[in-house]
């Protein structure tokens, strides 16, 4: 799938202005939760007089993919053309990856505060790694690792009925406890079950907040590329889910649709394989993160030498910053001291379409991926916020 060249240029998260982490605080304000912060101005616009809100996160459906997606979804086509609901462009966070992004959405704060700073991170003080989407009982305590009250805890404390419609296999995961605590969990497998649980949850109490998720646009994008036939088939399923949810949506309810990141297609010639550059392991303990955003953890005293070696070897294919330099850019938001060690001593981000393969946390399918995300390009950072309510 071809995209405009300018979408490969770097962008910046717009925390506190128009970011993924601003959505639920704005929803809480519209639902009259006392500590809600309506940064997006939803209470006087899309959510005026609304008492029930469902938030659907479509994994990987970045803002700049909507025009392509419109070919397989009449709902998204109408949204893009301005004929149905209201569409805004927001940004996700850095790194632009699912666990970091859904933590930002559901806590209402940037990665530096909630602490889920990457897809896979080094657990400070150890040689162990935590892959957030595979967070089992042997991992860190979720409430300590992610200490910020979730938006569902805040909503429930204010009397709002809160529900998370989730796939059954994730109900007991550490990630669920870390970012969804405070909400009732409603397991659902199929599109029909998801919509059924959403409608049931919306009927609870005099105010309600519901979250649900669809993951196959991202999965098919990784495997076949955005714009591919399997990707379009996943988008068609999004359209079915939108139809199921909007049919029967109460008059005092609104649907918000967003994404956790966009995606770019990466040709094999833009793969940087660490196996081809063994000297880049000198002075290095671990290379974690993901191919578009790598965290390099160094041995004592080796930060400067490691950063210099990576810069000299990889040139303008990547951006190489020390941890302090990366934090100073504001890409993580404000970083609390206890979360600093979860960011690499050296932070390496792929420029344009480059990816770095061969990290210590990598799984074999990464070599065969077509679509990637995690970096700072406009194509990866820009996400939609589409609002729909019954006319």
CATH value at residue 37 = 3.40.720.10
Is residue 233 located within the same domain as residue 324?
no
What CA–CA distances, in Å, run from 343 to 44, 238, 296, 390? 38, 34, 8, 44
Is residue 258 located within the same domain as residue 385?
yes
Residue 124 in any domain: the answer is: no
* pLDDT attached to residue 367: 83
Is residue 256 located within the same domain as residue 277?
no
Query: pLDDT tens-digit profile of 287-335?
Result: 999 999 999 999 999 999 999 999 999 999 999 999 999 999 999 999 9
pLDDT band with cut points at 50, 70 and 90 for residue 364: confident
Is residue 300 located within the same domain as residue 158?
no
Query: pLDDT tens-digit profile of 222-260?
Result: 999 999 999 999 999 999 999 999 999 999 999 999 999
Kind of pairing between the strands at 120-122 and 129-131: antiparallel
Residue 123 in any domain: the answer is: no
Is residue 138 located within the same domain as residue 205?
yes
Instruction: State how many domains the chain has.
Output: 2
Residue 122 in any domain: the answer is: no
What CA–CA distances, in Å, run from 34 to 19, 23, 29, 376? 21, 16, 7, 34
Calpha distance 178→208 (Å, rounded) = 21
Is residue 200 located within the same domain as residue 220?
yes
Residue 30 in any domain: the answer is: yes
Is residue 212 located within the same domain as residue 346?
no
- Exposed/middle/buried for residue 90 (C-beta within 10 Å: 0-12, 13-18, 19+): buried
CATH value at residue 300 = 3.30.1360.180
**Beta-bridge mates of residue 290:** 293
Q: Which two tokens stand for residue 256?
A: 């918000």
Residue 160 in any domain: the answer is: yes
Is residue 229 located within the same domain as residue 100?
yes
* pLDDT attached to residue 366: 85
Is residue 221 located within the same domain as residue 292?
no
Helix (H, G, I), strand (E, B) or coil at 1: coil
Q: Which two tokens stand for residue 128?
A: 């162990």
Is residue 356 located within the same domain as residue 382?
no
Range of the domain at 153: 5-117+129-265+377-389
The pTM assigned to this predicted structure is 0.98
Is residue 240 located within the same domain as residue 285?
no
Phi, psi torsion values for 161, nearest 5 degrees: -70, 125
Kind of pairing between the strands at 161-166 and 208-214: parallel
């Amino acid at each position: 799938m071809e995209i405009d060249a300018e979408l490969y240029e770097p962008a910046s998260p717009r925390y506190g202005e128009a970011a993924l982490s601003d959505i639920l605080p704005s929803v809480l304000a519209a639902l009259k939760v006392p500590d809600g912060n309506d940064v997006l101005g939803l209470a006087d616009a899309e959510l005026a007089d609304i008492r029930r809100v469902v938030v659907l996160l479509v994994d990987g459906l970045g803002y700049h993919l909507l025009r392509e997606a419109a070919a397989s979804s009449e709902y998204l086509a109408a949204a893009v053309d301005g004929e149905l609901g209201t569409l805004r462009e927001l940004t996700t966070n850095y790194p632009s990856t699912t666990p970091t992004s859904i933590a930002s959405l559901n806590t209402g704060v940037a990665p530096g505060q909630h602490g889920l700073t990457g897809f896979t991170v080094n657990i400070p003080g150890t040689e162990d790694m935590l892959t957030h989407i595979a967070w089992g009982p042997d991992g860190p305590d979720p409430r300590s690792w992610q200490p910020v009250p979730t938006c569902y805890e805040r909503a429930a404390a204010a009397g709002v009925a809160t529900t998370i419609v989730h796939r059954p296999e994730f109900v007991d995961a550490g990630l669920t406890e870390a970012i969804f605590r405070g909400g009732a969990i409603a397991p659902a497998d199929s599109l029909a079950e998801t919509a059924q649980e959403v409608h049931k949850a919306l009927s609870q109490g005099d105010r309600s907040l519901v979250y649900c998720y669809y993951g196959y646009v991202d999965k098919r994008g990784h495997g076949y590329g955005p714009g591919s036939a399997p990707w379009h088939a996943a988008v068609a399923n999004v359209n079915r889910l939108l139809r199921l949810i909007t049919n029967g949506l109460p008059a005092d309810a609104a649907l918000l649709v967003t994404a956790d990141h966009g995606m770019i297609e990466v040709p094999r010639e833009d793969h940087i394989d660490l196996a081809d550059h063994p000297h880049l392991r000198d002075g290095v303990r671990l290379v974690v993160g993901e191919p578009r955003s790598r965290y390099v953890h160094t041995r004592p005293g080796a930060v400067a030498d490691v950063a210099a070696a990576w810069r000299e070897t990889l040139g303008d294919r990547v951006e190489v910053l020390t941890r302090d330099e990366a934090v100073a850019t504001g890409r993580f938001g404000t970083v609390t001291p206890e979360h600093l060690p979860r960011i690499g001593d050296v932070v390496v981000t792929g420029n344009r379409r480059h990816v770095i393969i061969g990290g210590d946390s990598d799984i074999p399918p990464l070599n065969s991926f077509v679509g990637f995300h995690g970096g700072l390009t406009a194509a990866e950072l820009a996400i939609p916020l589409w609002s729909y309510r019954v006319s």
